[in-house]
Each structure stands twice: as structure tokens, then as C-alpha cells.
A and B are shown apart, each in its own frame.
Chain A
Amino acid sequence: MSAETELLRAEGLTKVFGRGKDAVRAVDGVDLALAQGEITALVGQSGSGKSTLGRLLLRLLDPDGGRITFGGKDVTVSRRAARRDYWREVQAVFQDPYAAFHQYRKVGSTLSAALRLLPDESAASRKARVAASLEAVGLDPAETIAKLPHELSGGQRQRAMIARALMLQPRLLIADEATSMLDASARVTVLNLLADLRDERGMSVLFVTHDLGQAYYLADRILVMHRGRIVESGAAEQVVAEPEHDYTRSLLADVPKLHRTG
């Protein structure tokens, strides 16, 4: 990857939970690079450390070792103000479309809370940002902002969460199992939305998932994570067609396939 297109780089990233004998190296010396305008899938089973890695890259968690650079700048250790700057560029969508919303507050207020990261905006332009991003994800702004989270379906809620991230026009979106609690039909809509954001806005996406099928459908590159390490990485087609690591091969063999005749 040339330095021009590289957006984020992690080197030797490590996170240890617990102490002494019980210590678990959830993320164990991970090196990775994300390119501008590309969707990278981080695939791993539960307990592989993929969500911890996602939270490290989101700067919600401090690493115990290694460093993260974003746009060439070291962001590994940062004060709160610097983190706020980082979160204008890097945003997230999480797994549970129910838990991600404050259940007693209207959808609109959860959305506009994120605009406090842009203190110089006028009230009118804030409103416009909310409306435009809701429209971009295919939701009716006027109707959606006045609703409570439980009045939307899971798919609508997940799209509203993507709209929340979009308002800030981030350069990187980290989607941690963002589609795994959705039904198959709603899932495809959200995946297509992420693909459109890459194609139309040049947004980078790190798509964290346990599902190789979704990773293969959506991502340009696939990273396979196992026991805190990245064991395989490459172009999506190559990883699925010619897996190099044994773990990837067993993962592919275990994924249920549709048994069509012919």
C-alpha cells in the first residue's frame, strides 16, 4: 500500500486483560493497515479478539503495547481534546441496534448529540446535517427524529446509527458486527448501504464480523483473526478461493452453504 492511500496503520498492537496467571492476550501484536476508500473485513470467531481490536482502533480502549497512526499522525496516546478530533474522523456502528440507543430519548436527540463534536456549527446547519444523513440512509428525517428507538425496526435503527456516523462525515467507519443481529433481508440493505458509502463518498470501512459470507460479499480485503493474531490477510477473492492458513481453510469448510443441485 502506498503512503498516499494509507489511512490507518497499527503496529504491534497489544491488549492484555487480567493480571499474572489469568492474563489473556486478547490482541497480541497485531499489524494492520487500512486504505482510503476501501472496505476491509476483520473476520474471526467469538473470542478471537476482533471486537477488542475494533475498540482499540476506536480509541475507546487504551492498548498495552504498539502504536496506531491515523493519516500519518500518531494517535496512540491522546488527551481528551485530541480524542474528540479523532472521533470526528473515525466513527462506529455497533452490534446491538437496541442497546446502541438511549431507550428513553428520541432518535433525533441521540443523533444530534454527536454534533457536539462540531462546536462551530450553526443550529440550522446542524439540523440540515441530521436531515441529509437520514435521507442518505433511506429514512424519512421528519418522521424518524421524532420517534423513540423501540418504534423503529432493527434494520431502521441500524441505518439510523449509520446516519449518526455520517453526519460527521468521518473518513473511517468501524462497523462491529453491525449486521449480525439483523434478519437476512434487512442485512443486505445495510451491507449495500456501506458499499454505496465507499463508492460514492470514498469512505473507508472496517467491517468486523464472524460471518465469512458477509465479509466476502462486502469487503475488498479480508483479515482473518484467530486467538488475538491476524493469521491471514489478502484480497477478498483470494482469501476465499485460495486460503493459505489452516484456520481460514477450516473456517471456510464449516460455513454452511446452500446446497443447490447443479
Chain B
Amino acid sequence: MKTLKALPPRGTIAAAVFLAIVLAGLIGPLLAPAGPGALLGTSFTPPGSEFLLGTDHLGRSVGIQLVHGIRTSIYIGLLAGITGTLIGVAFGTLAGYRGGVLDEILMGLTNIMITVPAIIVLLLLSISLDTRSVTVMGLCIGFVSWPWTARAVRSQIASLREREHVDIARLSGSGTMRIINVELLPYMMSYIVMAFVIQLYGAILAEAALSLLGLGPSGTASLGVMLHWAIAWESVRGGQWWVFLTPTVFITAITFSLLLVQSSLDTVFNPRLRVGKAAR
């Protein structure tokens, strides 16, 4: 609660925008009269009283596709964000706390992952996997996005490890797992939350990019898939602005609001950026 109170206004607004979009993705599909694949009208009907956001090249409702697309994109983002954060924190913590050979192995692996462009790995993964379900896609994005988190967490842990309360815990007989869970991770929580928000943001963009290339999930709508079809049917040139503008606006709104939330979390968690300084 205290954290929310300390959030600067732009952060609060951004969080509200993000939550509103998420809500639309949760409730929208339940209220929709038909599924995202249903052919409801003639193709490329402009927005109006019949279809709030018009229809696409097949005559499917853009509005219904949008709410389903948001749901898919957020699901993929959350899944990838959680997977990426968990792997990154686990690798970073182990490497930073244990040091030595384990550190060198884990960081070597991390550096290799960083140098290989994630989009290439994703392309290869998407092509080689038979199923292109939403879940598989989320996990794939998560599995390639952890290295930056791992590196950042490692350097934080390596400096936290030197703190005296860690020595005190060792002198109290605490083992490695207990020291990591009790002495180190609570100090890292703010950092991990911020890393997670960045992962979430990156995953939603990665989904859009992959789908744009035609490697998106099959059988469902997603913001990236919508963009893919809009471009495939040359809506930009054809003047059917509602078809490509709708997913673009929402991808931008989601990522921009997340970025704002992240940067204002920084001012909440980082005491040095906080306005006013505590008395000394």
C-alpha cells in the first residue's frame, strides 16, 4: 500500500491504463457476441454502429479480435515474463552467491545467450516446433529472454553477499539455500519486480514481432497476428486504417504504460531518486 502511495502521478496513470487494457482483455471476450474467427459481415466494413471497430478482410469483427488479442498477448507476456524472471533470478543468484567455477560456467552460458540474437532463436524454435500454441510461444520467449536479468541479478547478489548480515547468518549455521531465500532475495525484491516488468514488456513486443513475421500462434487472435493480416492484405495502402491502427495503438499503449510504471517504480524503490531526503 505504501508503495502505491509513493508512486508518482505519471506512474499511477500508466498503471491505470495498463490495468484497464488488461481488464478489457479479461472481460471483453466474455461479453463478445461471437468468437474472434466468426465471419460476421462484409469485408472491410468501416467502424460504425454495427461494428464498433469495423471488420477485417474476412469480415471478422476487429473489436472482438482486439479483446481476444489483448488476452493472448498479456497471457504470453506473463508466461514469458515469469519464466524469464525465474530462470534469470535463479542463474544470477547461484552465480553471484557461489562464485568461482559455477559463476564462470553460468555467466559463460549467459554471455553466449546474449550474443545470439533472441529473434533468431525464436524463429528457429517456432519453425522447428510442431505445435504453435500460445503457451509454447510464451515459454519460448521466456527461455530466450532471461540473460539480462541473470547478469543484473548476479552483480547485485555479488555485492549483497559481502554484507555483514550474511556473515552473521553463516555464523548462525544457515546453509546456502536459507541464506539466498532469507538474507538475499528479500533485499532483491524491488529489483526483481522491476526486472519482471521489463521482461513482460519485452515479451509482448517479441510476440508482436514474431506474429508479424507470420510465426504467431495458430488458431487464436493476438495483437501481432492482427498486424500480420493487416499488412498481408495491404490495409495500409488500401486505406482501411482501423484494421492496422487498432493493434498498433494497443501494443504501443501496453508497452508505453509498462515502461512508465517501471520508471516510476524506480523512484519508489531507489531512495536516492525519492524527493526529499531523510534527516541525518
Q: How far is the CA of A101 from the CA of B171 in the complex (A)?
A: 13
Q: How far is the CA of A178 from the CA of B173 in the complex (A)?
A: 21
Are B165 and A58 within 8 A (Cβ)? no
The number of A-B residue pairs with CB atoms under 8 Å apart is: 51
B163 within 8 A of A: yes
Q: How far is the CA of A164 from the CA of B167 in the complex (A)?
A: 13
B172 within 8 A of A: yes
Are B165 and A95 within 8 A (Cβ)? no
Q: How many residues of B contact A (CB 8 A)?
A: 16
A207 within 8 A of B: no
- Shortest CB distance A242–B (Å): 36
Are B175 and A60 within 8 A (Cβ)? no
Closest Cβ neighbor of A96 among chain B residues: B164
Are B171 and A100 within 8 A (Cβ)? no
Known interface pairs A60-B167, A96-B164; A102-B182 also in contact (CB < 8 Å)? yes
Chain A residues with CB under 8 Å of B187's CB are 103-104
Chain A residues with CB under 8 Å of B165's CB are 99-102, 110
The SS class assigned to the B binding surface is helix
Within residues 159 to 188 of chain B, which ones have a CB less than 8 A from any CB in chain A?
163-165, 167-175, 182-183, 186-187
Q: How many residues of A contact B (CB 8 A)?
A: 24
Known interface pairs A80-B175, A104-B186; A99-B163 also in contact (CB < 8 Å)? yes
Are B183 and A102 within 8 A (Cβ)? yes
Within residues 63 to 122 of chain A, which ones have a CB less than 8 A from any CB in chain B?
80, 84, 87, 91-92, 94-96, 99-104, 110, 113-114, 116-117
The SS class assigned to the A binding surface is mixed
- Shortest CB distance A175–B (Å): 13
Chain B residues with CB under 8 Å of A116's CB are 172-174
Known interface pairs A80-B175, A102-B183, A104-B186; A113-B164 also in contact (CB < 8 Å)? no
Chain B residues with CB under 8 Å of A60's CB are 167, 170-171
A113 contact from B167, B174, B175, B186, Cβ within 8 A: B174
Closest Cβ neighbor of B174 among chain A residues: A113
Are B173 and A94 within 8 A (Cβ)? no
Are A87 and B173 within 8 A (Cβ)? yes
- Looking at B167, B171, B186, the one whose CB has the most chain A CB atoms below 10 A away is B171
Known interface pairs A80-B175, A102-B182, A102-B183; A94-B168 also in contact (CB < 8 Å)? yes
Are B171 and A114 within 8 A (Cβ)? yes
Chain A residues with CB under 8 Å of B174's CB are 113, 116
B164 contact from A84, A94, A104, A164, Cβ within 8 A: A94
- Shortest CB distance B177–A (Å): 13
Chain A residues with CB under 8 Å of B163's CB are 99
Chain A residues with CB under 8 Å of B182's CB are 102
Closest Cβ neighbor of B170 among chain A residues: A60
Q: How far is the CA of A40 from the CA of B16 in the complex (A)?
A: 62
Q: How far is the CA of A100 from the CA of B170 in the complex (A)?
A: 12
Chain A residues with CB under 8 Å of B183's CB are 102
Q: How far is the CA of A161 from the CA of B171 in the complex (A)?
A: 12
Q: How far is the CA of A55 from the CA of B171 in the complex (A)?
A: 11
Are B171 and A58 within 8 A (Cβ)? yes
Closest Cβ neighbor of B175 among chain A residues: A80
Chain B residues with CB under 8 Å of A99's CB are 163-165
Q: How far is the CA of A104 from the CA of B188 in the complex (A)?
A: 12
Chain A residues with CB under 8 Å of B175's CB are 80
Closest Cβ neighbor of A161 among chain B residues: B168
Which A residues fall within an 8 A CB radius of B? 55, 58, 60, 80, 84, 87, 91-92, 94-96, 99-104, 110, 113-114, 116-117, 161, 164
Please list 18 pairs of residues, one from A and one from B, whose beta carbons are closer than 8 Å in the complex, sorted by A's number: A55-B167, A60-B171, A87-B171, A92-B168, A92-B171, A94-B168, A99-B164, A100-B165, A100-B168, A102-B169, A102-B183, A102-B186, A104-B186, A110-B168, A113-B169, A113-B174, A114-B171, A116-B173
A-B pairs, 5 with minimum CB distance: A114-B172, A100-B164, A94-B164, A99-B164, A117-B173
